[in-house]
Amino acid sequence: MKAAQDARSAAVVINAGSRRGAAHELAVDTMRKAGVPVSAVHHVLSGAELDGTLDRVVANGHDLIVVGGGDGTVTSAAGRIAGTDVMLGVLPLGTANDFARTLEIPNNLAEACATIADGKVVDIDLGRANGEPFLNVASVGLSVAVTEALSPRLKQYIGPLAYAIATLSAYARHKAFPSRLEFPDGDHEPLEFENLLQVAVGNGRHYGGGNTVSPTAGIDDHTLDIYAILAGPLREHVSIARLLKDGSFIKHDRVHHLTSRRVRLVTEQPLPVNLDGEIATSTPADFTIERNAVHVVVPQSSTSALFDGPGAGNWPPV
């Protein structure tokens, strides 16, 4: 299907615990009035409840699943429908909403509902870390400590500013770590690092409340953007931080950046891996990409992705 209007049955899953989750009733009513064939509505309050609900919704055979919540909620849904013709609609009800930002889905709830009613469908890439899905960025190092410092209450009360506060808190106690990057396809030589602040593997374009993975990163380019930030003096990290919004930080002397379709990250001790704001696996970690794996409803005006259709295939080709 290339348009949300082609859906026969839509299920809505709202993470009522997300920052703007209380608006779910208005969203459902708005979509129904706009002609979205909503036949089931589910409100969840916990991660365990979300996983079980998504499994049931997928099993029930809906061809459009509308998910309201933050990036972690959307990623959970995307991982379950990857490789199918089920369409994903997104209501950005979280704090960062970086996936919506990447695909130019409006942050305004009424406009997001209108997008689901009359938008177009694109197929986007999905990243995997040890088989676990991510849409935006997978990372090891400082970002994990930031995630741990981001309390639900902090996000609820101050919104995106919570990321800056959590970053300052995490940086103060973060310890550098050694690691090795390996490239199974042989497109790059292995890289050894003694002291790193962070390693990130990007599938999408935005992360961390509006930061940019790189100036050329896209969620439909069939490649992963990998960057490693070396540990160093505070003034160096401040200069990097100032360049995060537009992605130009990758040109900084203390940043190594490259692209690949597969990469393996090895560390001396197992380290947790942050996938779109959720700690979901640990190193050693194998990062891969599924091409055109998820069908998403986006605004008609969005230029962030295309619909390539069946036959585009995953990498490597079979």
| Euclidean distance between CA atoms 214 and 246, whole angstroms | 7
CATH top class, domain 132-289: mainly beta
Domain residue ranges in the chain: 4-125+291-298, 132-289
pTM equals 0.90
pLDDT band at 234 (very low <50, low <70, confident <90, very high): confident
Catalytic residue flag (residue 278): yes
pLDDT tens digits for range 126-177: 999 999 999 999 999 987 877 776 656 655 666 666 666 666 666 667 789 9
Confidence of residue 19 (pLDDT cuts 50, 70, 90): low
pLDDT at 170: 67
Please give the CATH number for the structural domain made up of 4-125+291-298: 3.40.50.10330
Angstrom distance (rounded) from CA 25 to CA 244: 36
Structural contact between residues 74 and 90, judged by C-beta atoms closer than 8 angstroms = yes
Handedness of CA 271, 92, 14, 64 (dihedral sign): negative
Q: Evaluate if residue 248 carries a pLDDT over 90.
A: yes
Segment 215-221 shows an average pLDDT of: 97
* Residue 144: predicted pLDDT: 81
Identify whether the C-beta of residue 92 lies closer than 8 Å to the C-beta of residue 105. yes
- pLDDT, mean of residues 178-190: 98
DSSP assignment of 136-199 equals SEEEEEHHHHHHHH--HHHHHHHTTHHHHHHHHHHHHH---EEEEEE-TTSSS--EEEEEEEEE
Residue 281's pLDDT band (cuts 50, 70, 90): very high
Could you give the CA distance from residue 268 to residue 214 in angstroms, rounded to a whole number? 28
Highest mean pLDDT among 20-34, 44-58, 105-119, 233-247: 105-119
Mean of the pLDDT values across residues 204-218? 95
The domains spanning 4-125+291-298 and 132-289 adopt the same CATH topology = no
* Catalytic, out of 25, 132, 194, 278: 278
**Total count of residues recorded for the chain:** 318
88 has a pLDDT exceeding 60: yes
